[in-house]
Amino acid sequence: MARKMLNDGEPDLKIGEEQGKNYDFDLFIIGAGSGGVRAARFSSNFGAKVGICELPFHPISSETIGGVGGTCVIRGCVPKKILVYGASYGGDLEDARNFGWELNENVDFNWKKLLQKKTDEINRLNGIYKRLLSNAGVKLFEGEGRIASPNEVEVTQLDGTKLSYSAKHILIATGSRAQRPNIPGQELGITSDEALSLEEFPKRAVILGGGYIAVEFASIWRGMGSNVNLVFRKELPLRGFDDEMRAVVARNLEGRGINLHPRTNLTQLIKTEGGIKVITDHGEELIADVVLFATGRAPNSKRLNLEKVGVEFDKAGAIVVNEYSRTNIPSIWAVGDVTNRLNLTPVALMEASLFAKTVFGGQASKPDYNAIPYAVFCIPPLSVVGLSEEDAIEQTKGDILIFTSTFNPMKNTVSGRQEKTVMKLVVDAQTDKVLGASMCGPDAPEILQGIAIALKCGATKAQFDSTVGIHPSAAEEFVTMRTETRRVTGGVKPKTNL
């Protein structure tokens, strides 16, 4: 969730500017991912002269390889969603038989074909992002950027030559990178970068982690036919989400054939002729073709020269910024995952847009982190907006009303799949305001995006109830939950260790 930031008043944009100096650029951006490209385009549209640098393109990142489009486009959200679509057909083909489709018993899956289609798409998007920058009049440099001084960026090109450019403002938008646990044999494992580009499909997979990436890849590989073991330290996956919805996700993962290992960690990986031997802290041994470390990401800030220039950063390497995304050096700003506030692509886009409006649009604008929707693209997906039940109990003084609906989706009544959809509303009993909404089931992200607008507008439960539903649809359940499931007391810290 959002980190504590430095607070200050409306920014004085003349601080940090050398009076009478002519700069090469009004703005120079290090990092051409989602946030960097958005800031570049919007700043240019406000009339700024903008330069931006990015590492050369490759699907798997390193300290010297990246690509215009960044993590989300090249090795994150987009390719992941393509693989989720591919994996979903596995279950759909099973369900199709009861809808009259006579399918042969053996249906083959071609991993390499899907992988090539995925690669073609990220190559296409990489080109689109470059054209967006060019069409906006932004100068793109390919190479590694570092901050030489508060108003100077040094770019190391592919041939090793260094170029220096002065800029009135510098924006850091270098994102984050996947981390590996420090255990013996960790070099035998992979991160999500490599998982999106495996040459051979893993028939046996062990995944360490209980967050977004872990449960999404568990669903992807299982949907394609792999034997998957998901290992995580807590009782339930997706720590930080609503506990009730976490339990639903865990039940669905198991229902789809994924082997869950809660309250478990890995201690060692050993290479053998039969595959990678995985040893847990309970002494259990698993054999895998692939071991995926989905154990978190860290801000990508190590090579930026921050310490020498005096930019403040925390122990994790996250750049500390104020409400306007400004660092303690007035000419240097930062947005996106490198600041470790709320690490989602749409949030980086919001921060970048408001940075441009603040610095070049003449309108000081702070990001608003309230009612931000997000989704976990497991199969079926989970999507949430607003407060979880646990957060509401802790943050609200009065009583909280919980409304839930658990039902068998219409498609499942015919296919025979035993998988319930669960919806939930968290309501302030005193004001009737809807504080949070969540759903686990088919199309959850598409439905919750609309619900997010309602919460952003401060909708009440009475307004939900007065809304006419679309029938037959799952979404109509959100406006027909009339009877409260339970009433809980707010203003206390909820007891949970899940």
pLDDT band (50, 70, 90) for residue 463: very high
Asked if 471 is an active-site residue, the reply is yes
Exposed/middle/buried for residue 74 (C-beta within 10 Å: 0-12, 13-18, 19+): buried
pLDDT, the chain, mean? 94
* Mean pLDDT in residue range 110-116: 96
The answer to whether 451 is annotated as binding is: no
The answer to whether 213 is annotated as binding is: yes
pLDDT band (50, 70, 90) for residue 492: confident
* Mean pLDDT in residue range 395-407: 96
The answer to whether 467 is annotated as binding is: no
Which is the catalytic residue, given 58, 261, 282, 471? 471
pLDDT band (50, 70, 90) for residue 497: low
* Mean pLDDT in residue range 335-342: 98
The answer to whether 12 is annotated as binding is: no
- Inform me whether the pLDDT recorded for 289 exceeds 80: yes
Give the SS3 label for residue 498.
Answer: coil
pTM, full prediction? 0.94
3-state SS of 392-450? Answer: HHHHCCCEEEEEEEEECCHHHHHHCCCCCEEEEEEEECCCCEEEEEEEECCCHHHHHHH
70: region left, alpha or beta (phi > 0 left; psi from -120 to 50 alpha): left
Burial 450-483 (b: 16+ CB within 10 A, else e): ebbebbeeebebeebeeeeeeeeebbebbeebee
* Mean pLDDT in residue range 468-493: 94
Do 147 and 306 form a contact (C-beta atoms < 8 A)? yes
Displacement of CA 46 from its chain's centroid (Å): 29
Q: What is the pLDDT of residue 60?
A: 85
The answer to whether 210 is annotated as binding is: yes
Q: What is the pLDDT of residue 17?
A: 64
Residue percentage of the chain with pLDDT more than 90? 91
Q: What is the pLDDT of residue 8?
A: 52
- Inform me whether the pLDDT recorded for 9 exceeds 70: no
